[in-house]
Amino acid sequence: MQDRGTAVPSGVPADAGIDIGGTKIAALIVDERGTVLARGSAPAPAREGGAAMADAAAALVTGLAAEAGVSLRAAGVGAAGVVDHATGTIRAASEMFVDWVGFPLGDELSDRLGVPVRIENDVNAFLLGEAAGRADRDVLGVMLGTGVGGALIVDGDLRHGPHGAAGEIGHTPGYSDLRCTCGQTGHLETLASGTSIGARYGERTGDVLNSSGVAERARAGDADAIAVFRDAGRALALACASAATLLDIPLAIVGGGVAHAWDLLAPAVDEALRTDAPITGIPLRVIPAEKGGDAVALGAIESARRARAVVAY
Ligand SMILES: [Zn+2]
């Protein structure tokens, strides 16, 4: 947190939310009442290094703030990778991000924007965004994308854990005999990620499709495609049931590209929640995300606002 008092109000006060992924940077400008005033995106120069990413994000946000005629107070970022939210530094990330690990994204963006910047992991931000406005204070978030990410809100707050790694449900074992992207065996991700759905369908049929292609086939009645989604849905629900049993969490919100095929996941999810319900007897709801592509940026703003409430900057 720096640049205290740098921003000179010249318009309506507003906050920026930034969703930084490997291919795209998306941003929102939101006023105090939560109204989205501007929205845009730009290509993410992930292979050009951290400074190029910060430049691109800052240019996007500065342009959107000017378009909306607002004075920025703060910005929140949901960034791919393991994030040290206390320092705003990236701790670990996939290889597609050059010069990203160790990059002080929070300080660098704060310098460029002239406002305090809060950094969160993108799945944590997704969950904050989806949970905002709900009465639920204990929520599991599962992101079914290229991989499977997870996040936890416990008693109203994000649970980061001592290493910032809480909620990594995608790499919990016991769901298959298949090799996971992380090198271990049987993780939830081997059945429920978009990548895995394509791979599992390919093993059955020899056809190379992405998960939305498999979804199309399932909707057309292809038994192999239906089975792949059934396996994904069952594994997802069992993972949610384990988390719910351990932590007394009654709600799981599922996002990411695979969740667009909720119609195909839901039958197996519902069946598994019947056969393997948490023994606490408390009904576990597993529902698809509702805020679409805005969830990460909205959650990043929520994270920045919460940080401001704690640290008076
Ligand atoms: Zn794994």
Return the pLDDT at 24: 93
* Same domain (yes/no): 98, 142: no
Please tell me the distance between residue 82's alpha carbon and the centre of ligand 1 in angstroms.
15
Total structural domains in the chain? Answer: 2
* Same domain (yes/no): 191, 154: yes
Residues with CB in 5 Å of ion ligand 1: 171, 180, 182, 187
* Same domain (yes/no): 178, 30: no
E strand map for the chain:
12-20, 24-31, 36-43, 70-79, 82-84, 89-92, 117-121, 139-144, 148-154, 157-158, 251-255, 285-288
Please tell me the distance between residue 91's alpha carbon and the centre of ligand 1 in angstroms.
18
* Same domain (yes/no): 163, 273: yes
Non-local CB neighbours of 191 within 8 Å, separated by 6+ positions: 175, 176, 178, 197, 200, 231, 232, 235
pTM summary value: 0.91
* Same domain (yes/no): 145, 175: yes
Please tell me the distance between residue 231's alpha carbon and the centre of ligand 1 in angstroms.
17
The answer as to whether 59 is a domain residue is yes
High-pLDDT (> 90) share of the chain, %: 78
The answer as to whether 305 is a domain residue is no
pLDDT in tens, 85-140: 888 898 888 778 888 899 999 999 999 999 999 999 999 999 999 999 999 999 99
End residue of a domain, out of 115, 143, 167: 115
* Same domain (yes/no): 75, 169: no
Q: Rounded to whole angstroms, how far apart are CA atoms 103 and 301?
A: 21
Return the pLDDT at 4: 43
Q: pLDDT-derived band of residue 310, with 50, 70 and 90 as boundaries?
A: low
* Same domain (yes/no): 104, 207: no
Please tell me the distance between residue 186's alpha carbon and the centre of ligand 1 in angstroms.
7
The answer as to whether 187 is a domain residue is yes
Q: pLDDT-derived band of residue 284, with 50, 70 and 90 as boundaries?
A: very high
Residue with tokens 């049929």: 205
The answer as to whether 98 is a domain residue is yes
The answer as to whether 307 is a domain residue is no
Name the average pLDDT for the chain.
92
Residue range(s) defining the domain that contains residue 71:
12-115
Return the pLDDT at 279: 85
pLDDT at 313 over 90: no
Please tell me the distance between residue 309's alpha carbon and the centre of ligand 1 in angstroms.
36
Q: Rounded to whole angstroms, how far apart are CA atoms 249 and 280?
A: 11
